[in-house]
Structure 1
Amino acid sequence: MPSSNNHGSPMPFASFRRPILAVGSDQVHSEMNHDSSTPNLDTFQRQVFTWFHDISVVDADEFLSISWICKLLASFTSCHDHFQAILLNNRRQLLNPPADRLATEFFDRVIKALDIFNATRDGIEKIRIWQKHLEIIVCALDTRQRILGSIFSNRNRSFGRKGKDSHHHRSSGHSRSLSWSVPHNWSASKQLQLITNNLIPPRGNEIETTDGLATLFFAMSFILMFVLWILVVAIPCQDRGVQIHFTIPRNFPWSTPFSLLHSRIMDESKKRDRRNSNGLLKEIYQIEKNVHQITTLVDSAQFPLPEEVKEEVTANGNDLSLVCEACKRELEPLQRQLRDVFRKIMNGHTEGLEALGMATEP
């Protein structure tokens, strides 16, 4: 995905442009206009509640997993499609203040969001590298204990103890794959904070003057920011962090599931064994836990390993194998979905700017 800062990086998703007014919102626009009805804000807000309520109440075993992140992105896509449909139906209103200002502010947030999607893409690539390394470890665990000592004496310390060796590995081993689309001094946390700045609910006169578009822009801006926040806290990103300052809005039809999601994610981040995690993604936690247990067992034992230690190592190795298989099966679909969302919001940005310029045309 191209960087919004134009750092001269490759553009693997360069073919994102489509004809104006020809994005996925066309289908939504057609469906919502059935029986001469038009997309409206009340319907949009009720549907936002439904989509995000479904993912906010999932079982703990599914929460923050790769498959759950895919559902999150699907919910965001549905919101974006309906948002675009409403926007196109009201494009003449966009030239009138303060709607023109609100539209400009939203599209500026979209541009800032693109770097976070790039960083998330890089984070997924990092997990895929871990997966390949861990597959080697899993294979070694299936052989004799002689190999065990060799493997863990040179283990990947991204999942070992925190310290100088771990920092050195992260800063040198695969730095290019982590930061080739954003500068080395780029910060996911700071970028999120820029998107969050001045994100406040609209005033009554703004809602009235814009025929409700002020509420629409606020809702979609908040949804965009919130989804990006989840991606950053879940997936390894450059200078990621959980403590981004924003307030869950109240008195909106869709507020409740966002409050629940925020509460659940903050609870996860406070758990002792996830405090220094590479990310809150469930699969990352499982990898870190199993590798830590295996390395602790191997480091504390003498070779040849006692039978009970061998059994514990084997059990953790089996768990690690299951996680690797899940990553191997689910990361590629997540990458495709992330690429599709990137293209969709980029198309929406282009479409919106064109709508601003076309608002006076018949």
Structure 2
Amino acid sequence: MPPTDNQGSFLNRISIRRNQVVYEHEVEDLEQFQKHVTDRLSELSPEAATVDQPETLLSIAWFRRLLDAFLCCEAEFKAVVIMGRDATNFAKSPLDRLIPEHLDRTVKALDICNAITHGIDLLLHWQKLAQIAVDSLQQRPIGEGHVKRARKALNTLLSSITIDDKENHHHGKSAAAAAAAAAKDHATIGNLRSLSYCFARSWSAAKQIQAMSSNLVAPRGGEPTGLVIPVYLMSFVLVFVMWAMVAAIPCQERTGLGAHMQLPKQFSWAHPMIGLQEKIGELWKKKEKKGRSGLLEETQRLEKLGKNLVEFADGFTFPVEAEKAEEVAAQVAEMAEICRRMEELVPVQLQVREVFHRIVRSRAEALDVLDQVTKMTTQIQY
């Protein structure tokens, strides 16, 4: 028996209610995603440091937490925006433009991940050179041979840092290869393995970051919300994480990196990101004045200690005065602690690789959705 008008009206109301419940659930997911990103970024602020997590901004421990936060945000973004999503959503404006733009940013991010992986290799070489100096200067009694070996290692370390900084501002041979050339007189401590960058000389990390952020504009008040906001949000997070890594870790050509992204202040998640960006930008300005290679805290401390210990080695006389010996011992102990902390660069490198592979997988899944859109919008020719 056909349904009566009352039955049809009832079924319509059920359908509307079901759609409303689905919509409310999606809105809740999107709001939760924004809140979780805000919380994770806030936890990275120096003001959030605690006794249990005392690490400072741009330290190795801080970058481990930054990359963990990114991986969590990326997984949640994929769950909210891509997985199980009706492909027709991506055919609507402005998502039909925003999704391809985001995918283009991910390609540039993959290049940056590769560059950062090579940069970490160089940092690990610096750590080995510093460890040679530590082992030499911790000998008791310390003799002229120990001091000479430490001086060679430290001179090679400082030459590599200086040359890397110069090469990053002038396109040329890789930092490590240049450092090895500068250190050719230090054969006793071993040759630096060439860490040639896998890019052409014209490739620039700073230009990659600028290209990623050039068309990143916050949604206007009149634009539809829904999936637009999380796509913008994830793009901002992606650019910020890549920018922070390039600022801290040796990377090919970083001129002009201090320029800030224009973050949308109307969103709560932008506030902690703005705070972090301003603090890193201030550190970058100081770095440009002092000519240091990267903002990683351990690298800057290693450079400072290296210069002090080279001065000690240049003026070394035996026996060493008690007061001077105590001062040098404290500096060597601090360098030993930094070397220990720099061992954590290995898991950081693994995290960067995980970021790379995660981006590749998510990009492939998004392309599958776009492929569905293309098939739906293409008229079948009879």
C-alpha separation in 2, matches of 1:234 and 1:166: 12
C-alpha separation in 2, matches of 1:261 and 1:140: 39
What SS does the aligned partner of 1:258 have? helix
Aligned residue in 1 for 2:363: 349
The reply to whether residue 320 of structure 1 matches residue 320 of structure 2 is no
CA contact (8 A) 1:268 1:274 kept: no
Q: Shift of the alpha carbon at 1:334?
A: 1.0
Equivalent of 1:236, from 250, 262, 272? 250
Q: Which has the higher contact order (CA 8 A, sep 6+)?
A: 1
Deviations 1:276-299 (A, max 9, x none): 222111211221121121112222
C-alpha separation in 2, matches of 1:217 and 1:346: 17
C-alpha separation in 2, matches of 1:165 and 1:41: 43
Query: Rg larger in 1 or in 2?
Result: 2
Aligned residue in 2 for 1:286: 301
Quick check: 149-158 or 275-284, which moved more? 149-158
Aligned residue in 1 for 2:6: none
C-alpha separation in 2, matches of 1:87 and 1:199: 18
| Structure 1 length-normalised TM | 0.80
Deviations 1:227-263 (A, max 9, x none): 1110011111111354134222211120110111112
C-alpha separation in 2, matches of 1:73 and 1:298: 39
The aligned amino acid for 2:32 is T
> Residues 167 and 224 of structure 1: is their aligned pair in 2 closer, same or farther, counting only changes over 3 Å?
closer
Aligned residue in 2 for 1:107: 103
Equivalent of 1:218, from 224, 229, 232? 232
The reply to whether residue 92 of structure 1 matches residue 88 of structure 2 is yes
> Residues 161 and 342 of structure 1: is their aligned pair in 2 closer, same or farther, counting only changes over 3 Å?
closer
CA contact (8 A) 2:260 2:281 kept: no
> Residues 157 and 115 of structure 1: is their aligned pair in 2 closer, same or farther, counting only changes over 3 Å?
same
C-alpha separation in 1, matches of 2:196 and 2:34: 36
The aligned amino acid for 1:311 is E
Q: Shift of the alpha carbon at 1:212?
A: 2.5
Aligned residue in 2 for 1:145: 143
Deviations 1:33-55 (A, max 9, x none): 99x94463222211111110011
C-alpha separation in 1, matches of 2:164 and 2:233: 44
> Residues 156 and 166 of structure 1: is their aligned pair in 2 closer, same or farther, counting only changes over 3 Å?
farther
Alignment of 1:124-273 (within 5 A): 124-143=120-139, 144-146=142-144, 147-153=146-152, 155-159=154-158, 170-172=176-178, 173=180, 176-179=194-197, 181-205=198-222, 207-208=223-224, 211-241=225-255, 242-271=257-286
Equivalent of 1:311, from 302, 313, 326? 326
Q: Number of aligned residue pairs: give it.
A: 323
Give the superposed CA RMSD.
2.9
Unaligned runs of 5+ in 2: 1-20, 168-174, 181-191, 377-382
Deviations 1:73-109 (A, max 9, x none): 1111121112111222353210223311111111001
C-alpha separation in 1, matches of 2:63 and 2:164: 31
Q: Shift of the alpha carbon at 1:270?
A: 4.1
C-alpha separation in 1, matches of 2:260 and 2:71: 25
Query: Sequence identity of aligned pairs in percent?
Result: 32
CA contact (8 A) 2:134 2:150 kept: no
Unaligned runs of 5+ in 1: 1-32
C-alpha separation in 2, matches of 1:193 and 1:148: 46
C-alpha separation in 2, matches of 1:353 and 1:162: 41
Quick check: 259-268 or 59-68, which moved more? 59-68
Q: Shift of the alpha carbon at 1:136?
A: 1.2
The aligned amino acid for 2:62 is W
> Residues 273 and 163 of structure 1: is their aligned pair in 2 closer, same or farther, counting only changes over 3 Å?
closer
C-alpha separation in 1, matches of 2:164 and 2:267: 48
